[in-house]
Chains A and B, each alone.
Chain A
Amino acid sequence: MNTLTIVGIIVLGIIIYLIFSYNRFQVLKARIKEALSGIDVQLKRRIDLIPNLVSTVKGYAKHEKSVFENVTKARSQLMKAGSLEGKAEANNMLTDALKSLFAVAEAYPDLKASDNFKDLQRQLEDTEDKIAYSRQFYNANVLEYNTRIKTFPNNFIGKMFGFTEEPFFTATEEEKKSVKVEF
């Protein structure tokens, strides 16, 4: 084989590697996008449970108006939230409003004993876990993508095609504050 053929094979090899590497970056980026919307899926599940909860509690405690208003307001804030941080903050506000709602329910033993209420309560707690795990999955995908952007030889290829780091999901300042438990 003459030198021209060898050079040709090497160039072809490099081009094929570039194609595979570029496609891999795109696949990882698409996964991050999907994981991001996965978080929204879990937030929506939480949003959808609220009206049922509010009407159940209203059935027993009609006059606790301010609590219901707070929960409903927090819910619509979450529905409107746009950015990743915005959604996290809105979700925290909803969690706080729900805490007050559940605290109020403590005073109504019939409500507390109702199966419907208990089921809604544990489902809501479960949505908090689901949101946490969907954020964790998002971070796992960001980790894989960011690692690839930084390691050799894909760091050069990444720069060549303009791939940049994606942000991890981090806790807001509010969330980092320690929780006060008062009895």
Chain B
Amino acid sequence: MTTHSQIAGNKFRTILLILLFMVIFFAFFYIAGLYFQDAYSLLIFGLLFAVISSIGSYFYSDRIVLAMSGAKSANKSDYFDFYTSVENMSIAAGLPIPKIYVIEDDSMNAFATGRNPKHAVVVATTGLLGKLDRAETEAVIAHEISHIKNYDVLIATVVAVLVGTLVFAADWMLRIRIFGGNNRENNGPLVAIVLLVSLILMPILATLMRLAISRNREYLADASGALLNRNPDALANALIKISGDNIPLQTASNATAHLFIENPFKSTSRNAKLISLFATHPPVEERVKRLREM
């Protein structure tokens, strides 16, 4: 499939996934509302909690991630290829040039963050910059710049807030259910069973949806990046090099893992199918296959 068709397909799939997610979200609170009088207020409280806990990370994602990862500002003379790659891909994307940082680490990885193009940051490890050639570096940067252009931090935050709301509300409802509370008396055991199943299953389902959306946006960043540097093979080669490299990133944590170009936690065992549902990134083989088709 051509680059353009893949981009269109991925954008369409994002909309489908978000719609499906909204259906799950409202179904959950509808079912909850059948049993709990307070379901509406739980929705509001859950939303508030989730928003407040996400506000900090949304507005300061660039500074937080930089502090957590120990990144240092990269200057043009020391990192000419990296710096000019970021400049050139920004020109191709029509975006302002993001702040450019390096992490001194032997692992190969790169990420971009920032709530919008004006507050964006691109980071790469010295391991990656040392092992990729100019074209491959540029391809990785094109992928990262595409994340910025496609507002993926905003989308991920919105989805995380919605998942958070659902998870908070489900948690409270389970407590109320166990410890007794404001229940509507006129419902039979069927509703109780449906509710119990929902309270346990739907948060899991919501999390799976969030990860599905994350993987979908990764495919989109691959395709958008290819449209910027016009060299999908370079990204495919870079991904193969990165995935073959088994050194895990020292400063990665669960909170930042989804931002990286490849899963920074290298898995040693291969429970492929199960792990793939919970992965923030699609499998490298599939990404390479789609890139080679462009």
Contact = CB atoms under 8 A, between A and B. Distances in A.
A and B bound?
yes
Contacts, number: 29
B94 A137 contact: yes
Contacts of A126: 84, 88
B93 A129 contact: no
A126 B87 CA distance: 10
12 contacts: A35-B94, A38-B91, A38-B94, A119-B77, A122-B80, A126-B88, A130-B87, A130-B91, A134-B92, A136-B230, A137-B91, A137-B93
B83 to A, nearest CB: 10
Interface in A9-40: 31, 35, 38
Contacts of A122: 80
Contacts of A42: 91
Say which size band chain B's interface belongs to.
10 to 19
B80 A133 contact: no
Interface in B84-103: 84, 87-89, 91-94
Interface in A118-154: 119, 122, 126, 129-130, 133-134, 136-137, 140-141
Contact of B88 (A38, A130, A140, A141): A130
A42 B91 CA distance: 10
Nearest to B92: A133
A126 B77 CA distance: 13
A44 B227 CA distance: 26
Contacts of B94: 31, 35, 38, 137, 140-141
Nearest to B95: A137
Nearest to B84: A126
Given A35-B94, A137-B91, A137-B94, A129 B84 contact: yes
A134 B80 contact: no
The majority secondary structure among interface residues of chain B is helix
Nearest to A38: B91
- A31, A42, A133, A136, most chain B CB atoms within 10 A: A133
Q: What 9 A-B pairs come out closest when comparing CB atoms?
A: A133-B92, A133-B91, A126-B84, A133-B88, A137-B94, A134-B91, A129-B88, A137-B92, A136-B92
A88 B84 CA distance: 22
Nearest to A41: B91
A38 B77 CA distance: 24
Contacts of A119: 77
A112 B187 CA distance: 87
A129 B230 CA distance: 13
A137 B89 CA distance: 10
Nearest to B89: A133
Interface in B190-204: none
B98 to A, nearest CB: 16
Interface string B47-87: 00000000000000000000000000000010010001001
Contacts of B89: 133
A58 B77 CA distance: 24
Contacts of B92: 133-134, 136-137
Nearest to B91: A133
Nearest to B229: A133
B294 to A, nearest CB: 16
B11 to A, nearest CB: 14
Nearest to A42: B91
B215 to A, nearest CB: 26
Given A126-B84, A129-B84, A137-B91, 11 more contacts: A31-B94, A35-B94, A130-B87, A130-B88, A133-B91, A133-B92, A134-B91, A136-B92, A137-B93, A140-B94, A141-B94
A62 to B, nearest CB: 28
- A31, A38, A134, A136, most chain B CB atoms within 10 A: A136
A180 B192 CA distance: 80
B232 to A, nearest CB: 15
A126 B134 CA distance: 12
A133 B142 CA distance: 12
A95 to B, nearest CB: 18
Nearest to A125: B84
A38 B94 CA distance: 9
